[in-house]
Chains A and B, each alone.
Chain A
Amino acid sequence: MTNLILQSVLFVVLVVLLAWPLGRYLWKVMEGRKTWTSGIFVPVERLVHRLARIDPEEEMDWKQYLAAVGIFSAVCFLAVFALQLLQNLLPLNPQGMSGLSWHLALNTAVSFVTNTNWQSYSGETTMSYLTQMLGLAVQNFVSAAVGLAVLFALIRGFTRASMKTIGNFWQDLVRGIVHILLPLSFVLAILLVSQGVVQNFGDYQQVSVLQPFVSNGTTIASQTLPMGPAASQIAIKQLGTNGGGFFGVNSAHPFENPTPFSNLLEMLSILLLPFACCFAFGYAVRQKRQGLALLAAMLVIFVACLAFALYFEQSAGNMEGKETRFGIVDSSLWAVTTTAASNGSVNAMHDSFTPLGGLVLLVLMQLGEVVGGGVGSGLYGMIAFALMAVFIAGLMVGRTPEYLGKKIEPWEMRMAVLVILGPTLTVLLGTALAAVYPGTSAALANTGAHGFSEILYAFSSAANNNGSAFAGLNANSVFYDVALAVSMLVGRFVPIAATLGIAGSLAGKKLVPVSAGTLSTNNLLFVGLLIFVVLILGALSFFPALALGPVAEQLSRIR
């Protein structure tokens, strides 16, 4: 019990302490200010621009920005899609993996481009090294950087006044990758290798086992150990809230997450950038407390969910689907962390969590991935909720609402509503479709209420770009591959488009000066209100579905 609290508290404190300076650095980099690393990274940044023939000074309005995001993402999708279909014809394929089916390739390409990293496959039996490093690992960087770019476009909406433009997408994209994601990943990758994460281009290794055994009449005398450039990809999948494992069981795989120390590093990496975004936001709008308020709201929900999950798992002594080196505490801590952030990597099997422990994970995703959420996307999602909170609170104090000095009018409301509506409706409708789709129950590992939870989890995860799964669901079928791909696309690009819409409109507005009549958005009252709005919108949207899933399972269990 003491250790449980100590681990949890230390983890939260550590991640916040690390996120703070990183947030400051993030802000400086994205605003093009000088930092101690500028000497190395600015030339790289310039080189990239020159090679890609981009004028980083060219300003874009929100529609141009959105078009750039959209077209770039489409190009990325096609590249990854093609790479998977053709991997058998391409080099760096020592295991001779064949090309993927169109639907699995489609699902995976969408999944990595949307920062979801839902995996209907196991990396070690499906993907060639080339696909992993040129396709998937690159998208891990790019999709996270797109999230950062959109966030900073939104931030410019707040900091600029009476302007049409919100920055340059290419510059934002490259800055995020060159100054932040690449160096952090490099350091993390090396640390992970030191713990035993593999990093090589060798063939899978055959080793004889200490005690051969007979299974179904066959003597098993050896093991084939998967190899590959894993550490470099795992580092960015954690930092970029991607979560797509190099190996099938993700960070439960000993080669992906070998020790408690690697586990701690990977957990910290999950929340590091989402939290740093909050600090960066505070610095960028010149009111640190505004960033802290959003972070505080996230932390309160995070800690509450963590407490519930730990309680449910620990009191059940549930070690099913958990690894010994992590135990119940680190497994629950990871599960809450990875669903709070839209990471989705796992170090334990969520499907085998207790019903209510699993419910906590479902809820964290269904809240819209705003408790940390994705790199960039978590914060812009939270800001959409803040606009809602400000709107309702503004009315209650008799002012047309404003946030950070910008008036919230019909356009902003329409867009903020879209940010929230997009994923929410996709989850509900996708689950409904799957529930009545013929033959759907054949894909389930469990029946009854838990079976329903598996479907609900899949769509909650996809539409909120999380990527984790109740892995009992066998999702590699035409129906699931396509339905989940559509969910991921809606869950990613509807909020992006709406966020950029907000950014464009806000940038054009005047700044309203603060007075005593202005609703403060950096005090406890507002934090409380924001939490209330996030929770009530989530609760009202998903209460019935959750009642039919984990709640029914819990209440009907026979023990």
Chain B
Amino acid sequence: MNRRMKSNGALTGRMLLRAVGDSFRKLAPSTQWKNPVMFVVYIAAILTLVFYFSALKGASDTDPDFILAISLLLWFTVLFADFAEAIAEGRGKAQADSLRRAKRNILAHKLDRPDFEARSVDVDSERLILGDFVLVLAGEQVPADGDVVVGAASVDESAITGESAPVIREAGGDRSAVTGGTTVLSDRLVVRVSSMPGDSFLDRMIAMVEGASRQKTPNEIALQILLVALTIIFLVVCATLLPYSVFAVAQLGRGAWVSVTSLVALLVCLAPTTIGALLSSIGIAGMSRLNQANVLAMSGRAIEAAGDVDVLLLDKTGTITLGNRQATAFLPLDGVEERELADVAQLSSLADETPEGRSIVVLAKEEFNIRARTLGQSSIVFVPFTAQTRMSGVDIDGRRIRKGASEAVRRFVEEQGGAMDAQCQRIVESIARSGGTPLVVARDAEILGVIHLKDIVKHGVKERFEDLRKMGIKTIMITGDNPMTAAAIAAESGVDDFLAEATPESKLAMIREYQRKGHLVAMTGDGTNDAPALAQADVAVAMNTGTQAAKEAGNMVDLDSNPTKLIDIVRIGKQLLMTRGALTTFSIANDVSKYFAIIPPLFLGIYPALGALNVMGLHSPQSAILSAVIYNALIIVALIPLALKGVKYREVPAAVLLKRNLLLYGVGGLIAPFLAIKAIDLLLVAFGLA
């Protein structure tokens, strides 16, 4: 599954070629201007070119060939930076192209009321507006995002999700959302359009993966400020060296002013070009990694926030436990036959399509051979489960059969004058203590017994939560179970805390409480009633299978609808920040060696004694400067893979991470360029270029 999305992970030759072309296109000043650090290099490249031409006419302080070499190297530096960005964008573009193929203008059957029988007019899908009703027949594409208001159908959503198996979309409930560009395979639907033209899910998705709507995140802006500040410092450092050298020459009465070309070279080497060139690629690549995980972020801000999240609200079902709780036993109260309990339980579950409901039907069949009945009677009314009542059942022949959480059922029987006796309490508690879920079965005011539903904790989650704890992330299990059940599963799975008998309101309240204390909260949700909590959470991942309301409220959509994804999202967010930090440190640390390379040749004419600072023993003044500039350009290309892939992330405490990264990128950044510049110098000499 997910072939389409995943296949974009690898770089293809075509993408490389396109990126090379894009690098040149990005040379337009309007594009360059957006990246202040690289803009300085851009201006420097133009300047040196001007110097070269004036040098050809004889007006120069340096050898024209040297100026040309520097100028070319600076142009390459600019191109390498453009290339880094283009290659990062390339993946998104490829993805956007295939999405665009799904977004075609088609004729939509616009209805004047939500009814299959209503009069329809064919209009261009582009012209549909919010609130229109459209009819979609089998084999047709859904013309716009919307909610199914009438009918049910199987829909092929592979254009969006990459998932080839069709899904059911039906009116009402949590599976009512359809996305423009998907195809109805069978049956027909009436859809209420929920987006304006140009603002559909597909439109936004294309914009996001293309990076077109990519806005700089606060953290990126803060880093940009630091980089610009450094650039300003170095600009002034280099600019002031000219008057300093003028002064020195005047004082000594000998020597020559520093060459402006060398100063420009020094400036480019000192400016944090490495991180400046890769900064936007890192951001785009982070988004792209998220896309590869089949998660669609509605803003870059959300990914960054994901790195900061320190409270994860995880739905128990599917994330912590295997999706399905299984009924394992019928425990009747005194005076009730086990078979009778099984019979009533089965009856109450016939219309219950949840895995639990089905497992009750299965257990009843296995143990007592009670088969599914055809319920032809007209007096049967199914009562579906709601988050408020927390019960489901049937009303049959005037008798009300219910099963549900013990508190809910107790309220139900007490309303009718019944009561929950001590024995029932005991059974409920003992099941709950064992981590199971007790489902109390009642018929009118009488409680018949308890169904034991067992939860199975997923393999490996405990270790996962342990890792998260080390990272300082608190995991909170959200469950509709009663507190005791929840506690048992919480203990078994190793989460830090749990919210039992969760309702949309209590979830929202919990998120607010954590936020009030300064935490950043992430959660997943799919239902319409999750929407308020999703809107409140800092990182809110809506399941693609979820309702339109949930998707609107979230800031990410998980196309796989996999609740464990949250943990991957956090990892990607952290990796994004770490990559920025590591390359910034590396870039700054590099400057030390560049000083040692460039300062001695710069002042050779004034203070030959400063040659003592040429600790690398570089061949000649020109080769020293060239080597530093070449290193400065090449390091950008060398680090593109790291920028795209992100630095290695491990789930360890902050101090350990910091120590490791400081050693690798800080100390490494101090030492590596000494070796590299020396090596480049040796090569230049070997090839007779210097």
- Whether both chains belong to one complex is answered with yes
Contact residues of A with B, CB < 8 Å? 388, 391-400, 405, 408-410, 412-414, 417, 420-421, 424-425, 428-429, 431-433, 435-436, 440-441, 447-449, 451-452, 455, 510-513, 515-520, 523, 525, 529, 532, 536, 539-541, 543-545, 547-548, 551-552, 555-556
Residues of B within 8 A of A513 (CB): 310, 517-519
Are B229 and A395 within 8 A (Cβ)?
no
Q: How far is the CA of A395 from the CA of B609 in the complex (A)?
A: 41
Contact of B304 among A400, A414, A431, A543 (CB under 8 A): A400
Are A396 and B582 within 8 A (Cβ)?
yes
**Interface SS of chain B: helix, strand, loop or mixed?**
helix
Highest count of chain A CB atoms <10 Å: which of B230, B241, B242, B581: B581
The reply to whether the CB of B172 lies closer than 8 angstroms to some CB of chain A is no
Contact of A515 among B221, B251, B310, B578 (CB under 8 A): B310
The reply to whether the CB of B462 lies closer than 8 angstroms to some CB of chain A is no
Q: Please, could you name 5 A-B residue pairs with CB atoms under 8 Å apart, sorted by A?
A: A391-B226, A395-B219, A398-B575, A510-B518, A552-B606
Q: How far is the CA of A501 from the CA of B502 in the complex (A)?
A: 43
Are A394 and B607 within 8 A (Cβ)?
no
Q: How far is the CA of A412 from the CA of B222 in the complex (A)?
A: 8
Residues of A within 8 A of B580 (CB): 395
**Interface SS of chain A: helix, strand, loop or mixed?**
helix
Please choose the segment from B127-135, B624-632, B647-655, B678-686 that sits at the chain A interface, where 4 or more of its residues have CB less than 8 A away. B647-655
**Taking the nearest CB of chain A, how far is it from the CB of B145, in angstroms?**
33
Are B585 and A555 within 8 A (Cβ)?
no
Question: What 0/1 pattern do residues 579 to 601 of B give for CB contact below 8 A with A?
Answer: 01110110011011001000100
Are B237 and A449 within 8 A (Cβ)?
no
Residues of A within 8 A of B469 (CB): 516
User: Which 9 pairs of residues, A with B, have the shortest CB-CB distance?
Assistant: A517-B472, A395-B581, A398-B574, A515-B472, A435-B247, A516-B472, A396-B581, A555-B609, A432-B240
Are A518 and B472 within 8 A (Cβ)?
yes
Contact of B654 among A452, A511, A520 (CB under 8 A): A520
Q: How far is the CA of A556 from the CA of B609 in the complex (A)?
A: 6
Asked, given contacts A399-B574, A451-B251, whether A391 binds B607 with beta carbons under 8 Å apart, the answer is no
Taking CB as reference atom, which chain A residue is nearest B585?
A392
Q: How far is the CA of A414 from the CA of B599 in the complex (A)?
A: 30
Q: How far is the CA of A392 from the CA of B607 in the complex (A)?
A: 37
Are B251 and A397 within 8 A (Cβ)?
no
Are B307 and A435 within 8 A (Cβ)?
no
**Taking the nearest CB of chain B, how far is it from the CB of A277, in angstroms?**
25
Taking CB as reference atom, which chain B residue is nearest A435?
B247
Highest count of chain A CB atoms <10 Å: which of B221, B240, B252, B592: B240
Residues of A within 8 A of B226 (CB): 388, 391-392, 413, 417
Asked, given contacts A398-B575, A517-B471, A544-B595, whether A409 binds B218 with beta carbons under 8 Å apart, the answer is yes
The reply to whether the CB of B613 lies closer than 8 angstroms to some CB of chain A is yes
Question: What 0/1 pattern do residues 227 to 262 of B give for CB contact below 8 A with A?
Answer: 001101110110111111111101110000000000
Q: How far is the CA of A316 from the CA of B33 in the complex (A)?
A: 53
Are B657 and A395 within 8 A (Cβ)?
no
Contact of A393 among B234, B243, B473, B581 (CB under 8 A): B581
Besides A513-B517, A548-B241, 12 other CB < 8 A contacts? Answer: A396-B662, A396-B665, A399-B574, A409-B218, A431-B240, A516-B469, A518-B654, A529-B658, A532-B666, A540-B230, A543-B599, A551-B613
The reply to whether the CB of B326 lies closer than 8 angstroms to some CB of chain A is no
**Taking the nearest CB of chain A, how far is it from the CB of B607, in angstroms?**
4
Are B222 and A544 within 8 A (Cβ)?
no
Highest count of chain B CB atoms <10 Å: which of A388, A429, A431, A517: A517
Are B234 and A540 within 8 A (Cβ)?
yes
The reply to whether the CB of B45 lies closer than 8 angstroms to some CB of chain A is no
Residues of A within 8 A of B218 (CB): 400, 409-410
The reply to whether the CB of B308 lies closer than 8 angstroms to some CB of chain A is yes
Residues of B within 8 A of A520 (CB): 654-655
Are B658 and A548 within 8 A (Cβ)?
no
Are A398 and B240 within 8 A (Cβ)?
no
Residues of B within 8 A of A421 (CB): 229, 232-233
**Taking the nearest CB of chain A, how far is it from the CB of B522, in angstroms?**
13
The reply to whether the CB of B37 lies closer than 8 angstroms to some CB of chain A is no
Asked, given contacts A399-B574, A399-B654, A544-B599, whether A435 binds B233 with beta carbons under 8 Å apart, the answer is no
Q: How far is the CA of A428 from the CA of B232 in the complex (A)?
A: 12
The reply to whether the CB of B474 lies closer than 8 angstroms to some CB of chain A is yes
Q: How far is the CA of A545 from the CA of B610 in the complex (A)?
A: 12
Contact of A552 among B270, B310, B603 (CB under 8 A): B603
Residues of A within 8 A of B649 (CB): 398
Are B658 and A536 within 8 A (Cβ)?
no
Residues of A within 8 A of B239 (CB): 432
Are A552 and B610 within 8 A (Cβ)?
yes
Residues of B within 8 A of A397 (CB): 574, 578, 581, 654, 657-658, 661
Highest count of chain A CB atoms <10 Å: which of B241, B591, B658: B658
**Taking the nearest CB of chain A, how far is it from the CB of B202, in angstroms?**
31
Are B518 and A511 within 8 A (Cβ)?
yes
The reply to whether the CB of B313 lies closer than 8 angstroms to some CB of chain A is no
Are B307 and A400 within 8 A (Cβ)?
yes
**Taking the nearest CB of chain B, how far is it from the CB of A538, in angstroms?**
11
The reply to whether the CB of B659 lies closer than 8 angstroms to some CB of chain A is yes
Are A449 and B221 within 8 A (Cβ)?
no
Are B578 and A398 within 8 A (Cβ)?
yes
Contact of A435 among B244, B575, B653, B665 (CB under 8 A): B244
Asked, given contacts A399-B574, A410-B225, A515-B472, whether A425 binds B233 with beta carbons under 8 Å apart, the answer is yes
Contact of A391 among B222, B517, B574, B655 (CB under 8 A): B222
Residues of B within 8 A of A517 (CB): 310, 471-473, 653-654
* Total CB contacts across the A-B interface at under 8 A: 214
Asked, given contacts A399-B307, A399-B654, A432-B243, whether A417 binds B595 with beta carbons under 8 Å apart, the answer is no
Residues of B within 8 A of A543 (CB): 595, 599
Asked, given contacts A400-B307, A424-B233, A519-B654, whether A392 binds B609 with beta carbons under 8 Å apart, the answer is no
**Taking the nearest CB of chain A, how far is it from the CB of B584, in angstroms?**
6
Highest count of chain B CB atoms <10 Å: which of A410, A516, A544: A544
Taking CB as reference atom, which chain A residue is nearest B580?
A395
**Taking the nearest CB of chain A, how far is it from the CB of B347, in angstroms?**
50
Q: How far is the CA of A406 from the CA of B247 in the complex (A)?
A: 47
Q: How far is the CA of A398 from the CA of B613 in the complex (A)?
A: 37
Are B222 and A413 within 8 A (Cβ)?
yes
**Taking the nearest CB of chain B, how far is it from the CB of A470, in angstroms?**
15
**Taking the nearest CB of chain B, how far is it from the CB of A559, in angstroms?**
13
**Taking the nearest CB of chain B, how far is it from the CB of A429, in angstroms?**
6
Are B251 and A555 within 8 A (Cβ)?
no
Residues of A within 8 A of B588 (CB): 536, 540
Asked, given contacts A515-B472, A515-B473, A525-B655, whether A548 binds B607 with beta carbons under 8 Å apart, the answer is yes
Contact of A452 among B221, B233, B247 (CB under 8 A): B247
Are B658 and A519 within 8 A (Cβ)?
yes
Asked, given contacts A394-B581, A405-B518, whether A441 binds B222 with beta carbons under 8 Å apart, the answer is no
**Taking the nearest CB of chain B, how far is it from the CB of A386, in angstroms?**
14
The reply to whether the CB of B422 lies closer than 8 angstroms to some CB of chain A is no
Residues of A within 8 A of B471 (CB): 516-517
Are A417 and B225 within 8 A (Cβ)?
yes
The reply to whether the CB of B449 lies closer than 8 angstroms to some CB of chain A is no
Which of B610-653 touch A at CB < 8 Å? 610, 612-613, 649, 653
The reply to whether the CB of B428 lies closer than 8 angstroms to some CB of chain A is no
Q: How far is the CA of A440 from the CA of B661 in the complex (A)?
A: 48
Are A555 and B607 within 8 A (Cβ)?
yes
Contact of B233 among A392, A436, A449, A540 (CB under 8 A): A540
Are A516 and B654 within 8 A (Cβ)?
yes
Q: How far is the CA of A391 from the CA of B237 in the complex (A)?
A: 24
**Taking the nearest CB of chain B, how far is it from the CB of A478, in angstroms?**
20
Asked, given contacts A393-B581, A425-B233, A543-B599, whether A448 binds B225 with beta carbons under 8 Å apart, the answer is no
The reply to whether the CB of B20 lies closer than 8 angstroms to some CB of chain A is no
The reply to whether the CB of B573 lies closer than 8 angstroms to some CB of chain A is yes
Contact of A548 among B244, B472, B576 (CB under 8 A): B244
Are A432 and B232 within 8 A (Cβ)?
no
Residues of B within 8 A of A536 (CB): 588-589, 591-592
